Chain A
Amino acid sequence: MHTVVLTKGVPDFREGQVAFDEDGHLERGATPTVMNPNDKHALRAALQTKVRNGGHVSLMSMGPPGFKEVLQEGMESVYADDAYLVSDRAFAAADTWATSIALTTAIERLDEHVAEGGVDMVFAGFKTADGETGHTGPQTCWGLDWPILTHVVSLDIDEEAGRVRAKRLVEGDIEEIETVEAPLPCFVVADPEFEPTYRKAAHRLTHKDLREETQERAQNHEEHVTVWDHEELNLDPDYVGLDGSPTIVSSVDPIPRAPAERDATMVDPDDGEAMRELVEEMVPLAGGE
């Protein structure tokens, strides 16, 4: 099995990390870049595949050279064997379409170079925290012309039969789960509900071995990262970056915080008098008034 996991570096939107300017626009320079939170579900699905079915995992991302840190983070969690960074000034300001073109080309390029049967599976998270479009994965899959399984919550691969069986949420609804099958190679978008299962001791022992192996590799992650630019991928500059992007972001409007509509009264639970007043006030409400 050779699998590829797509990941992206996004601004760290967590409280205390993210910085906005006075107009409410994101300050990229002042906000650290982290691995897209949703990608961890893809990583977990890929890790389960590696642990249960063995094989090679490549991490892939498109972005500036600084994304190598993101790849390191990804390598640590998926125990990836190596990583590919699609990186070139010519790719800057790409929309999801131009990004998908570049990623498809890179996966095809990898496919040609992988010994024994090429790439079997590609995993992606279901949307990025910055763009939130959810386009890039499916468009990349469209470019590859592979079957796609989305909102996958559990996965079982029969390598010999060349088939994947998955449970997926129908229309993203946890209440409705269907079981689907697809031939390999295929593209899997892992849902945040994805839960890896390791029900065999052998799997857990392998998992433990991989963890030890990977810690070492992730420390020297630069040695395992291959960077590809547009020439390397033989991509026409007209089809990548801003020039290759049919959509543009014209502006971003901050959504103002809604004002609180109610006055809050703080009551100290140890203040007997205040608590008594509170109860007295609430008693009529309990009666439906």
Chain B
Amino acid sequence: MSEPTDGASGGDGEYEHYEAVVVGCGPGGAAAAAALADEGVETLVLERGVDAGAKNVSGGLIYAEESAPYTIDGLFPGFREAATERPVTEYHLHNVAGSQVKSFDITDLHEHDTDWCDAVLRREMDSWLAERVHERTRETGGGLLTEVKVDGLLREEGEIVGVTCEELDPIRADLVVAADGVNSELARDAGLMDWEEPEEWFQGVKAVVDLPDGAVPERFDVEGGEGVAHLFSGDLFDGVRGGGFVYTNEDSLSIGSVFHLDSVAAERAEPHELLDALLTHPFLGQWLADEEYEEREYSAKLVPDSKKAALQSPHQDRLVVVGDAAGQMQAQGPIIKGMNHAVTAGGLAAEAYAQAKARGDTSRAGEFYERKLHDEGVMEKLRPRRYEVASALGEPEPFANLTDAVLDSAVGRFGVRLLGDRLERLYSSPALSMMVPDTRTPYVTLPTVIAEELGAPVDETNDVEPPSLADRIGDLTYDTDVGNPHIELRDDSAAASGTAVTACPVSAEGFGGGCYRRETVESNGEREEVVSLDTQPCIECGTCAVVAETEWEHPRGGKGVEFEEG
């Protein structure tokens, strides 16, 4: 008989076994689990949040692509009616220079290969999915458990055979689906992902802003149930490479900014201030009223740049990796698609496993999955060959500076004026959007020049005063794992980890209430600049894992931040 509290209550020391274990119940995990259950595979889904969606943040648009083999409503009938906010029927891009704005309607680009596209809030969406996932997987003998954090891979003789968890004994499985998000501990345990290169990441920061009933159709000039997406680029972010967005929800707005993390780090930019620059821009005055301005939630997340980070072989032994965990997040110019690719990958992973099983060799699931990602065109979307060619020419510094300089010169400005509204058509080209290089040119210089040369001044005023970082943190819900910090600083010198003070979305220079702050320590008469860390306000975005020297893990199941909107 076993010891009472060591947990091996079965007493025989054998690990539990499920045919498939899916880690994470976001769209990728939910899709994989539903598709596995449909194949009759005994599927256990482990989600670390108190509820699916409690840990999930996205900008807010989910696409169903015409060319995709799986869509979320295909896998979950009734999804759009029950779990989304508004369909996005208009798509605008605004080029900003000071208070000058030149707007393009790029709805054509948005509609390219799009069956439908809806704005979503992740807590509502993911928890709805999770209920269906539990019902369907329970019938296979598995089911969904929340508040369970999978913290690593179970190996036998060097081979992956299951998962280890904080809250449960190790579990063996024939298939492990890592759908554990952008900071996937499983992909890192397998050596497939790291947090080394800031160039491979974007950082998104978002505020969900409350609106009065009926304000969306009125202020955004759309039909009752419809919605709209607005994108922003240009000089409103002090030269940091990236852009902003405003998406309409049922009775709120998702307003956010997404920046290249290397640029955020290099410019020592404060992410919340970048967001505030958008929130307070006069152009948004037509939608926001200062006296009623109320933020429901502040959030942030890292976003992998699939062009650089999408795994070519997202599998190892019995492990397959889907969604953000595998870098499957497409951000090319104004096209930002992540959740749809996660859904497709989840579906394909399930299909691959069923196929391998039918052939009597489940160990080939990963190999089949990789092949399907290529055959179904997913990899071409994530890592387009056009981009590989264009970036080879466009990204090296001298070339980047040259195009920037030319564009900003009299010659370049003349060209922009000459193109005039034909630029709108160029911006609407799916082929061109794939080639957009990760330089200042498309994100900052070109939109600024366009706005200066072609734009008109905004006559709105915007008196919104966004809340302070302290208030934003104060409004979030946390269940702190007291005495058990999930992040540790490996090197607290300002040189190694100082960037976290600015780049962390809940920290700032001169602000003591965030995760990271600067301190001067005097020892033996020597003064030293160090960085100190308090993980209590952490919103689990993973930024510091990239820009600082940390030991980074997620909090235990159910602990840490709990997003109500997401």
| Overall SS of chain A's interface | mixed
Interface size class of B (residues with CB under 8 A): 20 to 34
Q: Which of B9, B10, B138, B145 contacts A204 (CB 8 A)?
A: B145
Whether B541 sits at the interface, judged by CB under 8 Å, is no
Contact A165 B1 (CB under 8 A): yes
Q: How long is the Cα–Cα vector from A158 to B16 in the complex, in angstroms? A: 18
Contact A201 B145 (CB under 8 A): yes
Contact A199 B9 (CB under 8 A): yes
Closest to A200 in B: B16
| Overall SS of chain B's interface | loop
Contact B9 A156 (CB under 8 A): yes
Q: How long is the Cα–Cα vector from A167 to B2 in the complex, in angstroms? A: 12
A174 to chain B, nearest CB (A): 14
Residue-wise interface mask of A (142-165) relative to B, using a CB-CB cutoff of 8 A (1 in contact, 0 not): 000000000000111010010101
Contact B18 A201 (CB under 8 A): yes
Q: How long is the Cα–Cα vector from A165 to B169 in the complex, in angstroms? A: 20
Whether A113 sits at the interface, judged by CB under 8 Å, is no
Whether A186 sits at the interface, judged by CB under 8 Å, is no
| Given A158-B11, A208-B145: A201 in contact with B5 (beta carbons within 8 A) | no
Whether B158 sits at the interface, judged by CB under 8 Å, is no
B171 proximity list for chain A (CB < 8 A) = 201
Closest to B1 in A: A158
Residue-wise interface mask of B (1-13) relative to A, using a CB-CB cutoff of 8 A (1 in contact, 0 not): 1111101111100
Q: How long is the Cα–Cα vector from A232 to B169 in the complex, in angstroms? A: 48
Contact B18 A197 (CB under 8 A): no
Q: How long is the Cα–Cα vector from A205 to B139 in the complex, in angstroms? A: 12
| Given A154-B4, A156-B3, A158-B1: A201 in contact with B9 (beta carbons within 8 A) | no
Whether B129 sits at the interface, judged by CB under 8 Å, is no
Contact B145 A202 (CB under 8 A): no
Whether B168 sits at the interface, judged by CB under 8 Å, is yes
Contact A167 B1 (CB under 8 A): no
Contact B143 A205 (CB under 8 A): yes
Residue-wise interface mask of B (106-135) relative to A, using a CB-CB cutoff of 8 A (1 in contact, 0 not): 000000000000000000000000000010
Closest to A163 in B: B1
A177 to chain B, nearest CB (A): 10
B556 to chain A, nearest CB (A): 14
Contact A201 B16 (CB under 8 A): yes
Whether A166 sits at the interface, judged by CB under 8 Å, is yes
Contact B143 A208 (CB under 8 A): yes
B1 proximity list for chain A (CB < 8 A) = 156, 158, 161, 163, 165
Whether B44 sits at the interface, judged by CB under 8 Å, is yes
Whether B345 sits at the interface, judged by CB under 8 Å, is no
Whether A68 sits at the interface, judged by CB under 8 Å, is no
Closest to A160 in B: B11
Contact B145 A179 (CB under 8 A): no
Q: Which 7 A-B pairs have the closest CB atoms?
A: A199-B7, A154-B4, A156-B4, A154-B5, A205-B143, A199-B169, A204-B145
A interface, CB within 8 angstroms of B: 52, 154-156, 158, 161, 163, 165-167, 179, 195, 197-205, 208-209
25 CB contacts below 8 A, A to B, read A52-B9, A154-B5, A155-B4, A156-B2, A156-B9, A156-B11, A158-B1, A158-B11, A165-B1, A179-B4, A199-B9, A199-B169, A200-B169, A201-B145, A201-B148, A201-B168, A202-B16, A204-B145, A204-B168, A205-B138, A205-B143, A205-B145, A208-B143, A208-B145, A209-B138
